[in-house]
Amino acid sequence: MKKNLLFLAALFCCLQLSAQTTIYDWEAPATSVEYKYFGNVDLSDSVVPVIANPNASGINTSANVLEYTKRAGSEVWAGAYADPGPTVDVSSGEQVCIKVHFDHIGNVALKLENSTTGGDDWILTKANTTTGAWEEICYDTSLPSIEAPFTAAAGNVYTGLVFFVDFGVVGADQVTYLDDFTVQAGSGGGTADLTLSVDMNEYGDAFTQPYVSGAFNDWSGDANPMEDPDMDGVWTVTLPGLATGAYEYKFTLDNWSAQEQFNGTDLCTKTTFDGDNMFVNRLVVLTENTTADPVCWNSCYGCGEGVSITFNLGMTQVTPSEDGVYIAGGGNFDVPGGPYRLMDPDGDNIFSLTIEREAGFSSYYTFANGACGDFSCKENIAGQDCADPANFNDRFLEAVMMDTEVNTCFGECTTTTDCSPAAQEGNITFAVDMNDSGVTIGTSVYVSGSINGWSGDANPLEDADGDGVWEGTITVPGGAHQFKFTVDNWAVQEEFMGGEDCTVTDGAFTNRALNVDGDDSFCFTWNTCMTCATGVSDLVNENLVQVYPNPVAENTLLQMETTSSDKELRVFDALGKLVWSQTLDGTATQLELNTAAWHSGIYLLHIEADNTIATKRLIKQ
């Protein structure tokens, strides 16, 4: 497994350009602090170790350095933070410098946060240029941050100093680094050359000449034409002698006959507003001579390196907030109210957003109905199969390797935007025929289940007419439940083998399944799925529907009796959520049910007609 080394040390600002003051060098208690990992597989919140300098030579002969390891599979934003943080005073435009030791060309992002003077958090990324030896990388705090709101750090005081190793890089190899931090007086300034390239091989329309248009040429449509001398479809231009700083730009064609269009979620862009007008352009922070990697037209990545991810969110069961519907959280999607707003231009209550990310991107995320910075308006999917209780009950997007659509519903773990209405509570009449049970009943027969905390005596049934059928009505919340008939506070209970049509097995327990969506009645013979021969059994007609095949792969056939009234069919999943419903004419005797889009598991088919009901269990493979 590859191991890469980086070392860090710190100096603090002073009044003269050449002078330096140490922040951290881990040589004495006054200049030592614990750094802690974050975003790092199995290391998060543990302390980054300090070790003896393994290459005390060149510009760094200090005795001790910080050794940072980035595990394979860590977040692209994995890094470390000082605990407690230092005071970093860059009020006079000081630079922050670090000494690094790499065995590969990578990058380190440095972040200043928690300003005591009202400054915005500030982050800048710089690459190393040397391997196998120490070098110093300096960060000019007069330059704008690479993240919103893109302001400079200079002029402020901060109490947080964070670093990120190979920031934004998706990789599977474990890497280890060593660091030393520095702050020194003086700002960067100067000039630098900028070389930009755009790959037009995937651009489908005709064009003659690409240009780069931006703040450096007053957004001219023809001042800086690009060239492709080897005819490989990659066009390049060099802009010499630019003053160091931040520049917005985009690639254009034929004097603005066409231009790139971004939506504000692209990681290489900056969004600005001028009145009601929004401008989204590429952003480069120029600190030294820079040759940018070729990017695909309208992409932050090289052709074939980016993936399109489209989120489609059904909101048919939720009133969308006037403040917007958002993707948020996960360390990659900002807070609700940020740039990741889903839109519904056709008014069908399906809100959508398409973003581009580098292939391999994965993240936790959630949906929010409103612009609540405290996440109070986020969806609640706790207990559902797509919620991770260890990560705020957020969803998780697996690594995306190709263009992908995510279809779901707000507050539901679905794979479709066809959202179901919430199941309604109902007055449920439970009845059980005890005539052939062989059970001696002392006090009463009871219903025990998830509806009453599995109490053995909370819900007694009655046999007022002495016909051996015990019954009672209980108000039950909508959704999926499990229960059994029991006798005399658990003196006797039903026992099932598992696999019966009316049961569900949950771990080591097999119980009767109940899906509630309004009032309902049923009667079973004790310890069986057979319907009663007396009492309320007239409500149950198991011949109303038969299911073939069952289990089902993609399609199954429903065979139904002819009835005088319409047939109301509903299918519930194991959580009691309605996943399908249809009304059929009483003369209908067959219906092909397509289950291809359903998750594997157990479903209950409920049919009502002629004041009778039937329930069948469907097993989706």
What tokens appear for 322 in the block? 């006037």
Q: Residues near 276 by Cβ (< 8 Å), separated by ≥ 6?
A: none
The CATH number assigned to the domain holding 561 equals 2.60.40.3080
Question: 163, 184, 205 — which closes off a domain?
Answer: 184
Q: Would you place residue 533 in the very low, low, confident or very high pLDDT band (cuts 50, 70, 90)? A: low
Closest by Cα among 308, 150, 164 to 215: 150
Instruction: Identify whether residues 35 and 177 lie together within a single domain.
Output: yes
Instruction: Identify whether residues 30 and 163 lie together within a single domain.
Output: yes
Question: What do you get for the CA distance between the two ends of the chain, in Å?
Answer: 40
**Span 504-525, pLDDT tens digits:** 887 788 999 998 888 999 899 9
- pLDDT number for residue 175: 61
In order of 110, 126, 168, 364, 566, the CA distances from 107 in angstroms are: 10, 5, 9, 24, 68
Tell me which residue range forms the domain holding 576: 541-620
The CATH number assigned to the domain holding 162 equals 2.60.120.260
Q: Does 4 map to a domain? A: no
Instruction: Identify whether residues 145 and 113 lie together within a single domain.
Output: yes
Predicted model pTM: 0.53
**Span 339-361, pLDDT tens digits:** 899 999 999 999 999 999 999 99
Number of domains in the chain: 5
Residue, of 411 and 147, whose pLDDT is higher: 411
Q: Does 11 map to a domain? A: no
- pLDDT number for residue 302: 96
Instruction: Identify whether residues 207 and 60 lie together within a single domain.
Output: no
Q: Does 419 map to a domain? A: no
Q: Would you place residue 203 in the very low, low, confident or very high pLDDT band (cuts 50, 70, 90)? A: very high
User: What's the CA angle centered on 54, arms 83 and 139, to 5 degrees?
Assistant: 50
- pLDDT number for residue 187: 47
Question: 184, 202, 226 — which closes off a domain?
Answer: 184
Range 73-84 average pLDDT:
83
Instruction: Identify whether residues 545 and 533 lie together within a single domain.
Output: no
What tokens appear for 138 in the block? 């300096």
- pLDDT number for residue 515: 85
Q: Would you place residue 5 in the very low, low, confident or very high pLDDT band (cuts 50, 70, 90)? A: very low
Question: 538, 553, 579 — which closes off a domain?
Answer: 538
- pLDDT number for residue 574: 56
The Cα 170–Cα 106 span in angstroms is 12
The Cα 4–Cα 6 span in angstroms is 7
**Span 541-572, pLDDT tens digits:** 777 888 878 778 788 888 888 888 888 888 87
Calculate the dihedral angle through the C-alpha atoms of 398, 402, 407, 413, rounding to the nearest 10 degrees.
-20
Instruction: Identify whether residues 33 and 161 lie together within a single domain.
Output: yes
Instruction: Identify whether residues 330 and 384 lie together within a single domain.
Output: yes
- Looking at the predicted structure, is the pLDDT value of residue 163 above 60? yes
Least confident of 175-189, 254-268, 323-337: 175-189
**Residue 201 identity:** N
Percent of the chain whose pLDDT exceeds 90 = 40
**Span 241-292, pLDDT tens digits:** 998 777 899 999 999 999 999 988 998 988 877 777 788 999 887 878 999 9
Q: Does 318 map to a domain? A: yes
- pLDDT number for residue 433: 94
Evaluate whether 78 touches 37 at the Cβ level (below 8 Å). Answer: yes
- Looking at the predicted structure, is the pLDDT value of residue 575 above 60? no
Instruction: Identify whether residues 458 and 514 lie together within a single domain.
Output: yes
Q: Does 466 map to a domain? A: yes
Q: Does 420 map to a domain? A: no
Q: Would you place residue 587 in the very low, low, confident or very high pLDDT band (cuts 50, 70, 90)? A: confident
- pLDDT number for residue 276: 72
- pLDDT number for residue 620: 78
Q: Does 615 map to a domain? A: yes
Instruction: Identify whether residues 30 and 141 lie together within a single domain.
Output: yes
Q: Does 10 map to a domain? A: no
Instruction: Identify whether residues 472 and 606 lie together within a single domain.
Output: no
Please state whether 383 falls in left (phi above 0), alpha (psi between -120 and 50) or beta.
left
Closest by Cα among 548, 568, 570, 569 to 557: 548
- pLDDT number for residue 181: 54
Instruction: Identify whether residues 373 and 317 lie together within a single domain.
Output: yes
Q: Would you place residue 23 in the very low, low, confident or very high pLDDT band (cuts 50, 70, 90)? A: confident
3-state secondary structure of 218: coil
Instruction: Identify whether residues 321 and 292 lie together within a single domain.
Output: no
